[in-house]
């Protein structure tokens, strides 16, 4: 399984990626701007140098240049500048012996002023040159003199590279500083999550208390959901603990009874007594087995996972099968199906167990006057209803909550005290409900189930 990047790393990337992109764009823009500004500056320097040479040649009659102009030509900050002057007749006047040769295929850059720039070659080196023509009279020669000044392009490139290096170094330092600030800022910002992780790590099966630590507003929903889950787990574990405790208490008496009956059988004086006590022992064992089976059924109902076991069920067919399997003795057991298929979504096994427990509850607690138990399926607008009605002694309205609790009965009686709780748990797990309607004529229990989902 591919590991996901940490939240700190993801936030850092999300914040820094746009900054890196913007910094790169700005750096390229600054580099291009620096290139243009440097080229313009050096071109203007060539023009200033050419004008200075022109002035000195005119004033010295072509003999020498002033110290100021020589300093300008040899300025180390902008690189060495060369110059050449020839007369109208083509004769050499002053400067370096030969001017640069213009690159083939290039033309002088035309301008409205009497000078032009061009790229050329001087002693196998690429140069940038300026050529200026001016009419004057020097040493008896009169006409248009040509002044050429030039500079190695490598000098320009080195100057531009130095400017670019300083620019990108500054940007890199700025980005590194921002990245460091962002990293530590995110680290401080995520500290509440680290505290939350510590609080979660402190939880154990013995301590599922809700998390009360202050957290940022953005994760309050997560904390609330986690606290809800902890509450549910805690309630489930408490319910399991209570169930085990109650189950142990409920099984203690039947097991003690079985043990006593077994001892009584072994100590019987004659065969008839032994057989009588054996029958009592068998009844006690059956009662204990029935109680254990009811406990397992209740536990399965509580842990029902409908997302795995759910299927579309016609309640008519399911109820018919269960009713045929029940032995009611002298009590009349009738079944009335719905007039059309009553489809529900659920676990057929657990719905069948719920119905068996409802019928068994009616047969066990109906009393001496019980003579009839009716099972009815009705189709409703939002699902189906399973009804078990008896004409027995019923229960008082005030005892309804008692009979729906596990192992609880209004008065000492036969049974496990789990029949109705099992049916109620199955109903809840199916998104339905169980209702009890006592009357002087008996008890009516209704198990309402929602209709089958459309995708089923």
Instruction: Check residue 448 and give its pLDDT.
Output: 92
Fold of the 223-302 domain: Helix Hairpins (1.10.287)
Q: Are 114 and 54 in contact (CB under 8 A)?
A: no
What's the chain's average pLDDT?
79
Whole-number pLDDT of residue 456:
46
Q: What does the pLDDT look like over 64-77, one tens digit per residue? A: 888 888 888 887 56
- The answer to which of 169-173, 237-241, 392-396, 420-424 has the lowest mean pLDDT is 237-241
Q: Where in the chain is the domain with CATH 3.30.565.10?
A: 308-450
pLDDT-derived band of residue 335, with 50, 70 and 90 as boundaries? very high
Model confidence pLDDT, tens digit, residues 14-72: 888 888 888 888 888 887 887 888 888 888 888 999 999 989 888 888 788 888 888 88
φ/ψ of residue 210, rounded to 5: -60, 155
Decide: 306 and 430 in contact? Cβ < 8 Å.
yes
The pLDDT value recorded for residue 130 is: 92
Quote the pLDDT of residue 127. Answer: 92
Give the range with max mean pLDDT: 139-148, 181-190, 250-259.
139-148
CATH tag for 308-450 (out of 3.90.480.10, 3.40.50.920, 3.40.640.10, 3.30.565.10): 3.30.565.10
Contact criterion met (CB below 8 Å) for 23 and 103: no
Residue 313 pLDDT greater than 90, yes or no: no
Segment 160-169 mean pLDDT: 82
Each residue of 264-312: pLDDT tens digit?
667 767 777 777 767 766 766 666 666 566 666 666 666 655 555 678 8
Each residue's pLDDT tens digit, 72-128: 888 756 778 999 998 888 888 888 988 898 877 655 555 456 788 899 999 889 999
Of the pLDDT bands very low, low, confident and very high (cuts 50, 70, 90), residue 374 is very high
Task: Name the DSSP letter for residue 2.
Answer: P
Confidence (pTM): 0.48
DSSP-assigned beta bridge partners for residue 376: 336, 387
Evaluate the CA torsion angle 151, 155, 157, 163 in order and state its sign.
negative
Burial of 406 (0-12, 13-18, 19+ CB in 10 A): buried
Q: What is the pLDDT of residue 212?
A: 76
Residues 42-47: contacts with CB under 8 Å, at least 24 apart: 42/78, 42/128, 42/151, 42/156, 42/159, 43/117, 43/128, 43/130, 45/78, 45/81, 46/81, 46/117, 46/128, 46/129, 46/130, 46/149, 46/150, 46/151, 47/115, 47/130, 47/132
Give the per-residue pLDDT at 220: 76
pLDDT band at 408 (very low <50, low <70, confident <90, very high): low
pLDDT, residue 239, reads 64
**What is the C-alpha to C-alpha distance for residues 245 and 422, in angstroms, rounded to an integer?**
18
Q: What is the pLDDT of residues 193-236, one digit of tens each?
A: 777 777 777 777 777 777 777 777 777 777 888 888 877 777 77
Question: Is pLDDT above 90 for 376?
Answer: yes
């Amino acid at each position: 399984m591919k590991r996901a990047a940490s939240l700190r790393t993801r936030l850092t990337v999300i914040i820094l990626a746009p900054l890196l992109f913007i910094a790169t764009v700005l750096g390229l823009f600054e580099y291009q701007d620096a290139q243009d500004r440097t080229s313009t500056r050096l071109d203007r320097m060539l023009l200033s140098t050419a004008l200075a040479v022109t002035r000195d040649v005119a004033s010295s009659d072509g003999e020498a240049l002033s110290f100021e102009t020589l300093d300008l030509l040899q300025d180390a900050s902008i690189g060495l500048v060369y110059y050449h002057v020839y007369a109208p007749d083509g004769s050499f006047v002053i400067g370096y012996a030969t001017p640069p040769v213009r690159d083939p295929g290039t033309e002088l850059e035309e301008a409205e002023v009497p000078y032009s720039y061009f790229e050329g070659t001087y002693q196998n080196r690429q140069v940038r040159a300026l050529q200026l023509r001016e009419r004057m009279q020097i040493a008896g020669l009169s006409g248009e003199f040509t002044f050429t000044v030039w500079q190695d392009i490598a000098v320009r490139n080195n100057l531009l590279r130095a400017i670019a290096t300083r620019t990108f170094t500054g940007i890199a330092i700025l980005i590194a500083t921002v990245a460091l600030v962002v990293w530590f800022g995110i680290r401080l910002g995520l500290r509440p999550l680290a505290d939350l992780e510590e609080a979660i790590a402190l939880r154990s099966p013995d301590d599922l208390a809700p998390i009360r630590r202050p957290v940022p507003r953005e994760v309050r929903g997560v904390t609330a959901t986690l606290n809800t889950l902890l509450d549910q787990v805690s309630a489930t574990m408490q319910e399991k603990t209570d169930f085990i405790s109650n189950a142990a208490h409920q099984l203690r008496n039947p097991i003690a009874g079985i043990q006593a009956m077994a001892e009584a059988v072994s100590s019987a004086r004659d065969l008839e007594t032994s057989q009588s006590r054996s029958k009592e022992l068998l009844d006690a064992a059956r009662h204990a087995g029935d109680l254990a089976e009811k406990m397992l059924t209740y536990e399965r109902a509580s842990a029902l996972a409908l997302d795995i076991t759910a299927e579309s069920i016609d309640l008519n067919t399911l109820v018919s099968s269960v009713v045929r399997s029940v032995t009611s003795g002298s009590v009349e057991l009738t079944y009335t199906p719905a007039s059309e298929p009553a489809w529900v979504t659920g676990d057929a096994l657990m719905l069948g167990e719920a119905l068996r427990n409802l019928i068994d509850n009616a047969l066990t607690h109906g009393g001496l006057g019980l003579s009839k138990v009716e099972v009815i399926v009705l189709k409703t607008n939002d699902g189906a209803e399973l009804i078990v009605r008896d004409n027995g002694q019923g229960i008082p309205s005030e005892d309804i909550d008692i009979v729906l609790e596990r192992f609880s009965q209004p008065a000492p009686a036969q049974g496990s005290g789990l029949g109705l709780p099992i049916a109620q748990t199955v109903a809840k797990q199916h998104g339905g409900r169980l209702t009890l309607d006592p009357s002087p004529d008996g008890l009516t229990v209704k198990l309402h189930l929602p209709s089958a989902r459309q995708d089923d």
